[in-house]
């Protein structure tokens, strides 16, 4: 989106505002979708299952009573591995949502810097004379 001529400033700003609103809506939708993410994982034998949310917090853990026969150390390793896999699954899903949201966001125009503002003020001053 090119920098507008002075007579098109209002239209330019309206376009920037519309694109900003569209981007914010998309990001809010993505944020809501990430809150709904559930990452899941299970050990190969199915004795340990876990789930995590889009922020990576553990939301569930199920340990089959038969897993207690594995011994403390092995059970601890399996629980840790399954929890990490659930968190990684949730992170992957959240990243996919965020990437889609960023890809869908319209290209924003370059920011109007002090040179632009100075040029506009000088133009208005010249027009007044």
Buried-state track 34-66, b at ≥16 Cβ within 10 A, e below 16: beebebbbbbeeebbbbbbbbeeeeeeeebeee
User: What's the whole-number mean pLDDT along residues 64-85?
Assistant: 96
Is a pLDDT exceeding 80 seen at residue 9? no
**pLDDT confidence bin for 102, thresholds 50/70/90:** confident
What pLDDT, in 10s, does the model give residues 12-48? 888 888 888 988 999 999 999 999 999 999 999 999 9
Question: Which pairing describes strands 58-63 and 38-42: parallel, antiparallel, or unpaired?
Answer: unpaired
Which residues of 1-129 form beta strands (DSSP E)?
Answer: 38-42, 48-53, 58-63
To the nearest whole percent, how much of the chain has pLDDT over 70?
97
pTM check: above 0.75: no
Q: Does position 108 have pLDDT exceeding 70, yes or no?
A: yes
Token output for 16: 């920037």
Distance (Å, rounded) from C-alpha 48 to C-alpha 75? 9
What is the per-residue pLDDT for 75? Answer: 96
> Could you give the CA distance from residue 127 to residue 129 in angstroms, rounded to a whole number?
5
Domains of the chain as residue ranges with CATH: 16-128 (3.30.1310.10)
* Alpha-carbon gap, residue 32 to 57, rounded angstroms: 16
**Cα(64)–Cα(73) distance, integer angstroms:** 16
Neighbouring C-beta atoms of residue 124, cutoff 10 Å: 10
């Amino acid at each position: 989106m090119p920098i507008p001529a002075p007579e098109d400033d209002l239209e330019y700003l309206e376009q920037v505002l519309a694109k900003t609103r569209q981007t914010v809506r998309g990001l809010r939708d993505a944020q809501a979708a990430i809150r709904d993410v559930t990452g899941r994982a299970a050990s190969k034998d199915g004795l340990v299952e876990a789930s995590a949310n889009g922020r990576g917090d553990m939301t569930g853990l199920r340990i089959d009573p038969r897993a207690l026969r594995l011994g403390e150390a092995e059970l601890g390793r399996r629980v840790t591995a399954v929890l990490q896999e659930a968190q990684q699954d949730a992170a992957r899903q959240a990243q996919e949502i965020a990437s889609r949201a960023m890809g869908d966001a319209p290209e924003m125009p370059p920011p109007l810097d002090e040179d632009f503002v100075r040029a506009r003020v000088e133009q208005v001053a010249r027009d007044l004379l």
